[in-house]
Amino acid sequence: MRPVSSRRLLPPALLAVPATVAAVVVAAVAGLVGATAPCLVGGGTATASGPRASGAAKQIPPARLHIFMGAARRFDISWPFLASIGVQECGYDGHCGLARSGCAGVMEIAYVRGSECSPDPSVPTIWETYKVDADGGGARILDPADAIFTAARILRRTMGAPPAGGPYHAYHEAACNYYGACADGVADYADEVMSRAVEFGFGHEGVAVAAGGTEAAVPVALEVKGGRSHVSKAEGPQGPACGEAVAPPTDSGASGEAIVRIARSQLGEAEFPPGTNCTKYGPCVEWCALFVAWVWQHAGVEMAGGTIPYAYSGSFFGWVTEHGGRDLPPTATPSPGDAVMFGYGVNDMDHVGIVESVFGGRIVTIDGNFGDHVSRVGPFSPASAELEGEPAPIFAFAEPPGVGAGPTGASR
């Protein structure tokens, strides 16, 4: 293994990064839904059966490896590359504190205003701008999980790191940007990072060795196709950072058929890491409503502000009538694409899903956060929702604006 650098330079790009709303989204979400926004449960600790890497990456303790892989999955970045940056900065299981330079934590992120790492005291530091609360305890620079998740976000947002599976030269350039130089008198930084990343499995990120010695695909996304589940390497953009909103689509013209088609395409989508409420649909909170908002938006329903404003299950009840849609009582016949709200009143909602089909007085729904997955429920009579595992009776249906009963829908 090549020597680990002992000094961090300030990446020039950090000096130009302005403060953004994203820096405080976690706090905003907590106020909105009355909960923290964890991305990684338990401070990133791994169980005895947690992931273990093969080859050189075996030197990374399982708990730290679990964090690197979780952050890589969340921000769609190569985990061997991210892990190599972490080792370069703080060793295999280091707990680096605050450096004299003003950088801090296991990823040596600019933390102190007016320091060598962040010279302008009037400009928020890169930590202040992009910090991520990865474990629900508040974003803390000295928490390895928070630091690693934040570094992954920085690398993808401002340092030019490509999605997982991206080319070697692009990741090499991202390493240069993170350090502020490709090399200097202290370290051949980018070459060292990439050499170690290759040793860790860069380019073959889908293969790791579990604690029992068996090979598994990591990081992975659980998919369900044709009723059969399988694991596959995560490919392509995996959605927003924890706490970020999903941008609305650029096209317009929603239809019930489009809503159902998009909802079906998400069947089997799961939280990652499991049990964290972290998905591509929005911040790491209970996400049934985020899923409905995400699907509606991607089908062309114009819902301003991404998914965050609709994180409460009852959001849709008032929103649709204010924007030209309709609320329907639980005894009405809904149409595919409508939201179905479960609860006991507009201020006492427990869950929300999407109506997939309607026939013979029975409905089938597609629900986010049903068993921690996007799941199909039914067919069932709307009066018997709780018998199908729904948390409460149906309170109302919400027809999105501009969407009426189409060719696949039922008449009102």
pLDDT number for residue 327: 92
pLDDT number for residue 54: 55
pLDDT number for residue 276: 82
Q: Where in the chain is the domain with CATH 3.90.1720.10?
A: 246-399
Q: Is the pLDDT of residue 88 over 70?
A: yes
Q: Which two tokens stand for residue 408?
A: 């696949």
66-82: pLDDT as tens digits:
899 889 988 899 999 99
pLDDT number for residue 206: 57
- Could you give the count of Cα atoms lying within 13 Å of 87 in the half-sphere of its Cβ? 28
The C-alpha atoms of residue 399 and residue 340 are separated, in whole angstroms, by: 9
Helix (H, G, I), strand (E, B) or coil at 328: strand
Helix (H, G, I), strand (E, B) or coil at 379: strand
318-346: pLDDT as tens digits:
898 888 889 999 999 999 999 999 988 88
- Could you give the count of Cα atoms lying within 13 Å of 326 in the half-sphere of its Cβ? 13
The C-alpha atoms of residue 267 and residue 58 are separated, in whole angstroms, by: 34
Percent of the chain with pLDDT over 70: 72
Query: Which run of H or E residues covers position 295?
Result: helix 288-298
Assign a CATH topology to domain 246-399: endopeptidase fold (from Nostoc punctiforme) (3.90.1720)
Question: Nearest-CA neighbor of 369 among 299, 274, 227?
Answer: 274
pLDDT number for residue 328: 92
In this prediction the pTM is: 0.47
pLDDT number for residue 226: 28
Q: Is the pLDDT of residue 293 over 50?
A: yes
Question: Across residues 138-143, what is the average pLDDT?
Answer: 91
Least trusted range by pLDDT, from 2-6, 79-83, 113-117, 249-253: 2-6
Averaged pLDDT of the chain: 75
* Alpha-carbon 19 to chain mean position: 21
Question: Across residues 227-252, what is the average pLDDT?
Answer: 33
| CA torsion, ordered 339, 345, 347, 353, to nearest 10 deg | -20
Do residues 257 and 228 touch, judged by C-beta distance below 8 A? no
Query: Which run of H or E residues covers position 15?
Result: helix 12-15
The C-alpha atoms of residue 152 and residue 155 are separated, in whole angstroms, by: 5
Question: Across residues 170-185, what is the average pLDDT?
Answer: 94
The residues with which 233 forms a beta bridge, in sequence order, are 220
Question: Across residues 229-251, what is the average pLDDT?
Answer: 34
The C-alpha atoms of residue 210 and residue 218 are separated, in whole angstroms, by: 9
Of residues 116 and 234, the one with the higher pLDDT is 116
The C-alpha atoms of residue 249 and residue 231 are separated, in whole angstroms, by: 28
Q: Do you find a cis peptide bond into 329, omega within 30 degrees of 0? A: no
Percent of the chain with pLDDT over 90: 40
- Residue matched to tokens 């489009």: 258
Q: Which two tokens stand for residue 69?
A: 């892989």
Question: Across residues 354-370, what is the average pLDDT?
Answer: 91
Question: Across residues 263-285, what is the average pLDDT?
Answer: 86
Q: Do you find a cis peptide bond into 334, omega within 30 degrees of 0? A: no
DSSP per position, 78-145: -HHHHHHHHHHHH-SS----B-TTSEETTTTEE-STTSSSS--TTS--HHHHH---SSSS---TTSHH
* Alpha-carbon 352 to chain mean position: 20
Least trusted range by pLDDT, from 116-130, 141-155, 244-258: 244-258
4-60: pLDDT as tens digits:
333 344 443 333 333 332 333 333 323 322 333 344 432 333 333 344 455 788 899
The residues with which 352 forms a beta bridge, in sequence order, are 341
384-399: pLDDT as tens digits:
888 888 888 999 999 9
Confidence of residue 236 (pLDDT cuts 50, 70, 90): very low
Of residues 9 and 97, the one with the higher pLDDT is 97
pLDDT number for residue 404: 54
The C-alpha atoms of residue 188 and residue 200 are separated, in whole angstroms, by: 18
Between the two ends of the chain, the Cα-to-Cα distance in Å is 69
Question: Across residues 98-118, what is the average pLDDT?
Answer: 94
pLDDT number for residue 39: 44
Least trusted range by pLDDT, from 123-137, 214-228, 304-318: 214-228
| CA torsion, ordered 244, 108, 43, 309, to nearest 10 deg | -10
